[in-house]
Chains A and B, each alone.
Chain A
Amino acid sequence: MPAADTIIELQDVAKHYGAVRALDGVTFTVSAGECIGLVGHNGAGKSTLMHVLAGTGIPDQGSITINGTLQSGYSVQTAHRLGVRCVFQELSLCPNLTVAENTRISHAELKGWGWSRRAAALIMGKLDEIFPGHGIDANDVVGDLAIGKRQMVEVARAFTLTDAPLQLVILDEPTSSLDAHTAAQLLAYVRRSVAGGLSCILISHLLGEILETANRIVVMRDGKVVASEAVSAFDRARLVATMGGAAARERAAPAALAGDQQSAPVMVSARAADGDGAAELVAHAGEIIGLAGLAGHGQTRLLLEIFETPPGRGGNLSVAAPVALVAGDRQTDGIFPLWSIADNIGIRSLARLRRGLLLSRELETGMAADWQKRIGIRTPDLDNNILSLSGGNQQKALFARALGSDAKIILMDDPMRGVDIGTKLEVYELIREEARRGRTFLWYTTETEELGNCDRAYVFRNGRIVAALDRSELTEEKIIQSSFAEAAS
């Protein structure tokens, strides 16, 4: 198999965490000037494989060969010296440092007199190249930046070049916090660099990105590579089938919903913050309303305002029923990391789980068990710590928390970030079912595909609602057009 231009070769690599076989004998090669799309369910072993490549995880067995040399004692330093860089899924910037200082962290060569000027020039040059019009300054403290911009910095940093060579960049879910526009900028840059001889491994749950960008697709399942073929051999359906995910019912055309929703009671009506002449958002009972537009243009802020408005109050914003929020950044805003799964699910409904003055253990576990069944949380025991779940299952627990509550209105702040497609399809189904029962959903999403589940979508720009699109008008072009309308006129 090793061709002349193979730069990296992994032979029979295995890694176990206790009884879990994260990697179970993986053989994997990377050639120069190749973009590999790596797909698989959450927990298929993709991230572990990348940690092995980046030197942050040491395999229990197997060999790593780079540029024809068998590596022994492969470490982060070796990886860096040989030009293997990784953008990890969890952001790995230091929030207390500036953009330039964070660049220095990954380049030991940036030292001595004037290092900060050189670091700033390096990162700004790369940001300008990948994301023109990014609006980031080298002296911005990373913690002050929005999550999308942080991801831009992190991606750009991986492509910066000093003394060490650059052969392979691994991008683990690089677009999860980017809006459609910047994601497209990034993927275009990846294609340009690959054409220029760089190698890239792209991990993404957005199959469209993979099919558009990669030359070769590697599919992983249960710690093994189950397919590795040129991109032309795959289409969406085959990719989903190979991953062994939920049957290929993706984008199950939502049943044409009865037209009586318009006559249903209005649950939420709102004008976005700077509402001069902006369109009004109206959500009736049983509707799924999408909030679209570029990331960070006021969608989250509106959701939070709705969340904080007491039910039954009029004015700019009126909310008719109790509200629950499914957070997008589940690590900081969603889960209670020290609590069990059951406690995490029950927290929104404590009033109902009471017997007398005290919380009832039975009611709590009963509710959790009920939702485990309905939403399919994969765990042997609901009393386990929430962190024992994979990311997708943690998100399911958060959905269970919101859906199990008395809330009639569910706000969702881009909750599917980095969730695998099987989980997504299950949750979509659940949302539609709950909507049929009369619940109202307000759904902010950065993935245009997800808007296909909505009855109507509002496009946001600069904190204002600039367009209301009905289901029939919900196309990528239309949304992008509205997001950028100002530039067009």
Chain B
Amino acid sequence: MTAASLPRAAAPVRLMNLKRLLRTVLPALSLILILLAIAWLNPRAISYFGFNLMLNLAIPIALATLAQMFVITINELDLSIGTFVGFVGCVTATWLREEPLLGIAVLAGGIAVYAGLGALIHLRNLPSIVVTLGMSFVWQGLAILTLPKPGGKAPDWLLTMMGLKPPFVPFPIIAAVLIAVVVHFGLMRSSYGAVLRGAGGNGQAIGRAGWSLLKTKIIMFGLAGVFGVLSGMALIGITTSADANIGNGYTLLSIAGVILGGGEFVGGRVSPIGAVIGALTLALAASPLLTFMHIPPDWQVGANGIILIVVLAARALLGRRGA
């Protein structure tokens, strides 16, 4: 009896693994597609110097995308990450350079506020979209108070770090791989990472197994704060000076990056490696590809949006075929 039932059971499992494999490699495929398009339009861009130039803004985007991913893991959404990155940028370009201790304290305070938002959202059962939308105006206001007009200067150590020129492989690529691997092991492979993701998949089950859901929310929002701070600092390390509106586009970019990377809005299905790849894809699809296509700057923002829709639609289409 058992012998007869075995082959039957094995077939669907193999099919399922294939399905999952396809789901996992989809983000990488879209990145490769964009790279091929760039290589075709401008072969010289595919070089050490070219990648350094094209990807230098990818690191802050990748960090912001991961911040967003932590929040999406537990079925919430963070609409304030963009202005938070902008606020961090303003603090980095002013206090962190002039009075490092005050700067560090303010940034740590920002992270604490994020963790507190997680607790508030859980305890009062508030919709995170509303809370973070409100917070986005708070961060924006604080950023303007900190730096009323564009300016400031990044601390020298940060400039040195972001300006690293390692041999052979461009710095943004090394940084992206490093960030993706660290978060992958923390969230996808560690034993507590399973609990954190489980909180998004079936929070009730996690609660019944004796874990604190409040703790998972605080940790995930806290991590979002940490990665938001890292993103803001990386951004200022590249641009060297700040502006209160510098991070505003990051909110939507980060959400798009998570989804592009194979994540889903609900259910705790996320992928850190996918999210980083998604962020790289977005960074490349933004200005480099469009410039090479000779699209005038006036039209680039609109074209950017269209590329985003096309890529996400392709993902949905492929994802459904794979499913």
Provide the residues of chain B in CB contact with A133, threshold 8 Å. Answer: 1-2, 5-6, 9
Provide the residues of chain A in CB contact with B189, threshold 8 Å. Answer: 116
Mark the stretch among A21-29, A88-96, A236-244, A449-457 that contacts chain B: A88-96
Q: A111 to B205, Cβ gap below 8 A?
A: no
Q: A112 to B197, Cβ gap below 8 A?
A: no
B83 to chain A, nearest CB (A): 30
Q: Which residue of A lies closest to B4 (CB)?
A: A487
- C-alpha gap A354/B201 in the complex (Å): 41
Provide the residues of chain A in CB contact with B198, threshold 8 Å. Answer: 94, 96-97, 101-102, 105
Report B230-248 residues with CB < 8 Å from chain A CB. none
Q: Which residue of B lies closest to A56 (CB)?
A: B208
A-B interface contact total, Cβ < 8 Å: 97
- C-alpha gap A101/B191 in the complex (Å): 8
- Specify which of A101, A110, A116, A135 is in contact with B9 (CB 8 Å cutoff): A135
Chain B, 1-44, contact with A by CB distance < 8 Å: what is the 0/1 string?
Answer: 11111101110010010011000000000000000000000000
Does A144 reach chain B (CB closer than 8 Å)?
yes
Q: A92-B202, A132-B2, A141-B20 are in contact. Are A111 and B191 (CB under 8 A)?
A: yes
Q: A96 to B206, Cβ gap below 8 A?
A: no
Q: Which residue of A lies closest to B10 (CB)?
A: A135
Provide the residues of chain B in CB contact with A93, threshold 8 Å. Answer: 202, 205
Q: A97 to B194, Cβ gap below 8 A?
A: yes
Q: A105 to B268, Cβ gap below 8 A?
A: no
- C-alpha gap A2/B267 in the complex (Å): 46
Does B164 reach chain A (CB closer than 8 Å)?
no
Provide the residues of chain A in CB contact with B209, threshold 8 Å. Answer: 76, 80, 92, 105-106
Q: Which residue of B lies closest to A54 (CB)?
A: B208
Chain A, 16-35, contact with B by CB distance < 8 Å: what is the 0/1 string?
Answer: 00000000000000000000
Provide the residues of chain A in CB contact with B195, threshold 8 Å. Answer: 104-105
Does A370 reach chain B (CB closer than 8 Å)?
no
Does B269 reach chain A (CB closer than 8 Å)?
yes
A420 to chain B, nearest CB (A): 23
- C-alpha gap A108/B215 in the complex (Å): 15
Does A462 reach chain B (CB closer than 8 Å)?
yes
Provide the residues of chain A in CB contact with B202, threshold 8 Å. Answer: 92-95
Report A354-406 residues with CB < 8 Å from chain B CB. none
- C-alpha gap A401/B8 in the complex (Å): 36
Provide the residues of chain A in CB contact with B211, threshold 8 Å. Answer: 105
Main secondary structure, interface of B, reads: helix
Q: A94 to B206, Cβ gap below 8 A?
A: yes
Does A189 reach chain B (CB closer than 8 Å)?
no
Report A430-489 residues with CB < 8 Å from chain B CB. 462, 484, 486-487
Does A137 reach chain B (CB closer than 8 Å)?
yes
Q: B197 to A94, Cβ gap below 8 A?
A: yes
Q: A105 to B13, Cβ gap below 8 A?
A: no
- C-alpha gap A106/B206 in the complex (Å): 8
B169 to chain A, nearest CB (A): 30
Report A125-144 residues with CB < 8 Å from chain B CB. 132-137, 140-141, 143-144
Does A77 reach chain B (CB closer than 8 Å)?
yes
Does B210 reach chain A (CB closer than 8 Å)?
yes
Report A66-106 residues with CB < 8 Å from chain B CB. 75-77, 80, 86, 88, 92-97, 101-102, 104-106
Provide the residues of chain A in CB contact with B6, threshold 8 Å. Answer: 133, 135
Provide the residues of chain A in CB contact with B206, threshold 8 Å. Answer: 94, 105
Q: B197 to A97, Cβ gap below 8 A?
A: yes
Q: B16 to A80, Cβ gap below 8 A?
A: no
Can you list 24 pairs linking A and B with CB atoms under 8 Å apart?
A: A56-B207, A76-B207, A76-B209, A86-B208, A92-B202, A92-B205, A93-B205, A94-B201, A94-B268, A96-B198, A96-B268, A105-B209, A111-B191, A115-B191, A116-B191, A133-B6, A134-B9, A135-B9, A136-B13, A141-B20, A143-B201, A144-B19, A484-B4, A486-B4
* 7 shortest interchain CB distances as A-B pairs: A135-B9, A94-B201, A96-B201, A92-B205, A133-B2, A94-B198, A111-B191
Residues of A within 8 A of B (CB): 54, 56, 75-77, 80, 86, 88, 92-97, 101-102, 104-106, 108, 110-112, 115-116, 132-137, 140-141, 143-144, 462, 484, 486-487
Residues of B within 8 A of A (CB): 1-6, 8-10, 13, 16, 19-20, 189, 191-192, 194-195, 197-198, 200-202, 204-211, 267-269
> Given A95-B267, A132-B2, A140-B16, list of 9 further CB < 8 A pairs?
A94-B202, A94-B206, A96-B198, A97-B198, A135-B5, A136-B13, A141-B16, A143-B201, A484-B1
